[in-house]
Structure 1
Amino acid sequence: MLIGELAERTGATVRMLRYYDQQGLLTPQRTDSRYRVYDESDVERVRSVRCLIASGLNVRLARLVLAHAFDQDVQLPDDEAGCVPLLRLLNEELASVDARIDQLTRSKEHLTRLVADVTRILEDKRPPEPRAC
């Protein structure tokens, strides 16, 4: 199948599929005229890539997960091809997400208090409503 059909079947854009190819997440065959040609296994691979990226992993970690955890044929750059402590990297990413959640929770608490304070100040400054006689 050509790139447009793969895009349609996976919900990815053509641009995104080209990016996945550039990053080594997909390795399509090429025709003599250099068109990318995909097979059925690429449909599932694109779905896996999209799921990994939607989980918050960057392209590098997605590539490592595909190569090591799912044992897929993914071309790794030389600096990633050796023994990669994948589980450690994933645990570090999880810790980073937890830290961001904690920071966002604190920010939300501060902002909630600020909104309450400003609301109270504005209500105190509001002129009293006229009394009915």
Structure 2
Amino acid sequence: MLIGELAEKTGATVRMLRYYEQQGLLTPPRTAGRYRVYDDADVARVRSVRCLIASGLNIKLVRLVLAYAFDQEVDLPEDDAGCVPLLLMLRDELTSVDERIVALETSRAHLTRLVSDVERIMVERGQAPCADPAATTA
């Protein structure tokens, strides 16, 4: 299949697929006319890439996870003991996500209190709050 069909099957844009190729996430063979040619394994790979990116992983980690998952020959970084710290990197990423969640929950609590305070003040002043645009969508 050609790049347009892969884009259609995966929901990725052609531009996104070319970016994945630039980053080494896809390595399609090319025809004599230089067209990229993809197969069903590439459909699964692109879906995996999109899922990993949606999970918040950066391209470097996506590349490492895919290399590990698809048993590819890729230079994985090693620590001083010669170990590939992929699991440690993923745990660090998970910790980072947890920290962002805590920060967002704190922000949400502050914003919820602010909304409540402003609503209370408006009622005390006899002012009608503006309509909530999210509540009025059809």
Question: TM-score range, shorter-chain basis?
Answer: 0.7 to 0.9
Residue pair 1:24, 1:75 contacting (<8 A) in 2 also: no
Whole-angstrom CA distance in 2 between matches of 1:108 and 1:47 = 32
Identity of aligned residues (%): 66
Amino acid at match of 1:91: R
**Residue matched to 1:121:** 121
**Residue matched to 1:131:** none
Residue pair 2:21, 2:27 contacting (<8 A) in 1 also: yes
**Residue matched to 2:86:** 86
Asked which structure has the greater RCO (Cα within 8 Å, sep 6+), the reply is: 1
Report the structure number with the largest CA radius of gyration. 1
Whole-angstrom CA distance in 1 between matches of 2:17 and 2:71 = 17
**Residue matched to 1:15:** 15
Summarize the Cα distance change of 1:101–1:61 in structure 2 as closer, same or farther, 3 Å threshold: same
**Residue matched to 2:34:** 34
Which is further off, 29-38 or 99-108? 29-38
Whole-angstrom CA distance in 2 between matches of 1:21 and 1:102 = 35
Structure 2: gaps spanning 5 or more residues: 128-138
TM-score, reference length from structure 1: 0.84
Q: Deviations over 1:74-122 (max 9, x none)?
A: 655xxx4555300001001000000000001011111111111111111
Structure 1: gaps spanning 5 or more residues: 128-133
Note the aligned Cα RMSD (angstroms). Answer: 1.7
Summarize the Cα distance change of 1:44–1:8 in structure 2 as closer, same or farther, 3 Å threshold: same
TM-score, reference length from structure 2: 0.81
Whole-angstrom CA distance in 1 between matches of 2:73 and 2:6 = 18
Whole-angstrom CA distance in 2 between matches of 1:87 and 1:62 = 13
**Residue matched to 1:56:** 56
Residue pair 1:24, 1:74 contacting (<8 A) in 2 also: no
Whole-angstrom CA distance in 1 between matches of 2:89 and 2:96 = 10
More helix by share: 1
Whole-angstrom CA distance in 2 between matches of 1:59 and 1:74 = 17
Amino acid at match of 1:96: S
Runs (4+) off by over 2 Å: 71-76, 80-84
